């Protein structure tokens, strides 16, 4: 199968490509802008593979993305290319509008033109648009988890841009019959995540004996999903998901930011005892603007229809993640300084 992955040098995209090339005889085209947060080293050992090709390209470039799709002639597209850090979206929202909205529009139009030229591909072609639970907004403690019918209530420029891209994908499916599926995942974590996100950032700060800043009082709650579980869900959706549907992918692991950081500290105390106890480094800082209180994902639909359930519990996942970052200490510190 010929597969395009946009944003394949990112955290989730690179994990997906490693899985696709290790498990099957797929041909992969990785389209990535190669930005500050890209990680070509995560796929370094694939560069000699005859089934893997990298194309440096910004999906905002409509002509080039159209040419790339036409030339490669994919059967499947996983769309992960996106600006994704909420803090950055508050500082520079225009970057998120360009990448997440205009970029998705360009991809959809390129797929539409490609399928119009090659109608025989329609029955086999799939576009999997990977989105976020943040499009649903924020929950209170006693509110039910988000499901696929939850109303969109984005609260940050990032989540608003992703909500917009979701609507574009749905509209191109309804209007132009682009065979597409939308997924919403909860907070991913695991090896190779760029240290601007909470878990790798806290590990990096703890290893360097630096303060570990937590927004507000640390009681904000997230549902945590180990990246390998996310990849397995995406593969199931690509193979057996129903065209035009939306699937929520959750980790079934709700935890406050403070509890997650304390769990990291406990693992660092055991594995990296030089700076122990690490919890002394925790520092509460001014809360960020529009900080959603709680995310929670109801994944019963994908569990029932595609037999998916997350397998990695948070304690085990954090342990594996801390171990990996300690083993890759120099990479982590270099990325933290970039």
Residues 151, 289, 248, CA angle at the centre, nearest 5°? 30
Is 244 within a domain? Answer: yes
Q: Helix H segments across the chain?
A: 11-23, 62-72, 86-91, 93-96, 103-117, 157-176, 198-207, 227-240, 257-271, 300-306, 314-327, 329-337
**Grouped pLDDT means (10 residues each) for the chain, 338 residues:** 96 96 88 91 88 96 97 98 89 94 98 95 94 96 96 96 98 98 97 94 95 97 98 97 98 98 98 93 94 96 98 98 95 83
List the catalytic residue out of 83, 109, 134, 228.
134
* Residue in 52, 158, 173, 247 annotated catalytic: 158
In a domain, 86, yes or no: yes
Please tell me the predicted confidence (pLDDT) of residue 338: 67
**Domain with 239 in it: what CATH number?**
3.40.50.720
295 given a catalytic annotation: no
Whether 331 maps to a domain, the answer reads no
Q: Is residue 10 part of a domain?
A: yes
Catalytic choice (32, 83, 109, 133): 133
Q: Find the length of the chain.
A: 338
Whole-number pLDDT of residue 35:
87
Q: Is residue 214 in a domain?
A: no
> What is the structure's pLDDT at 36?
84
Dihedral angle over CA of 111, 115, 121, 125, nearest 10:
30
Element (H, E) at 185: strand 180-185
Does residue 318 sit within a domain?
no
Q: How many domains does the chain have?
A: 1
In a domain? residue 106: yes
Rounded-to-integer distance, Cα 5 and Cα 280, Å: 41
Q: H helices of 28-153, where? A: 62-72, 86-91, 93-96, 103-117
Does residue 134 carry a catalytic annotation? yes
Contacts of 334 (CB under 8 A, 6+ apart): none
Q: How far is the C-alpha of 62 from the C-alpha of 79, rounded, in Å?
A: 15
Q: Which two tokens stand for residue 142?
A: 């006693």
Asked if residue 319 is part of any domain, the answer here is: no
Q: Which of 218, 196, 6, 168 is nearest to 91 (CA)?
A: 196
Domain range for 17 is: 2-193+225-252+296-311
Tell me: the pLDDT tens digits for 222-252? 999 999 999 999 999 999 999 999 999 999 9
Write down the pLDDT at residue 152. 98
> Is the dihedral angle over the CA atoms 236, 188, 101, 31 positive or is it negative?
negative
Is residue 133 flagged as an active site residue?
yes
Parallel, antiparallel, or unpaired for β 76-79 and 126-132?
A: parallel
């Amino acid at each position: 199968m010929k597969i395009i992955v946009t944003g394949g040098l990112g955290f989730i995209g690179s994990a997906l490509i490693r899985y696709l090339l290790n498990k099957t005889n797929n041909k992969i085209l990785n389209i990535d802008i190669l930005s500050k947060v890209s990680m070509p080293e995560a796929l370094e050992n694939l560069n000699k593979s005859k089934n893997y090709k990298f194309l440096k390209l910004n999906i905002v470039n409509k002509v080039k993305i159209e040419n790339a799709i036409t030339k490669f002639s994919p059967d499947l597209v996983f769309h992960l290319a996106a600006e994704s850090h909420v803090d950055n979206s508050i500082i520079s929202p225009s970057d998120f509008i360009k990448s997440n909205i205009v970029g998705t529009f360009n991809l959809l139009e390129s797929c539409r033109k490609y399928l119009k030229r090659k109608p025989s591909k329609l029955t086999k072609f799939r576009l999997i648009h990977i989105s976020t639970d943040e499009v649903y907004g924020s929950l209170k403690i006693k509110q039910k988890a988000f499901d696929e019918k939850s109303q969109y209530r984005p609260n940050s420029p990032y989540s608003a841009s992703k909500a917009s891209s979701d609507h574009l994908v749905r509209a191109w499916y309804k209007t132009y019959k682009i065979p597409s599926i939308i997924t919403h995942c909860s907070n991913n974590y695991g090896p190779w995540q760029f240290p601007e996100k909470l878990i790798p950032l806290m590990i990096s700060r703890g290893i360097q004996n630096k303060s570990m800043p937590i927004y507000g009082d640390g009681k904000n709650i997230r549902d945590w999903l180990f990246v390998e579980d996310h990849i397995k869900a995406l593969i199931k959706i690509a193979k057996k998901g129903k065209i035009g549907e939306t699937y929520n992918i959750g980790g079934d692991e709700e935890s406050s930011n403070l509890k997650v950081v304390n769990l990291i500290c406990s693992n660092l105390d055991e594995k990296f005892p030089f700076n122990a106890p690490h919890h002394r480094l925790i520092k509460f800082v001014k809360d960020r603007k529009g900080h959603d209180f709680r995310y929670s994902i109801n994944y019963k639909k994908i569990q029932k229809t595609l037999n998916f359930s997350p397998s990695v519990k948070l304690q085990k996942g954090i342990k594996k993640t801390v171990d990996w970052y300690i083993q890759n200490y120099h990479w982590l510190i270099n990325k933290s300084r970039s």
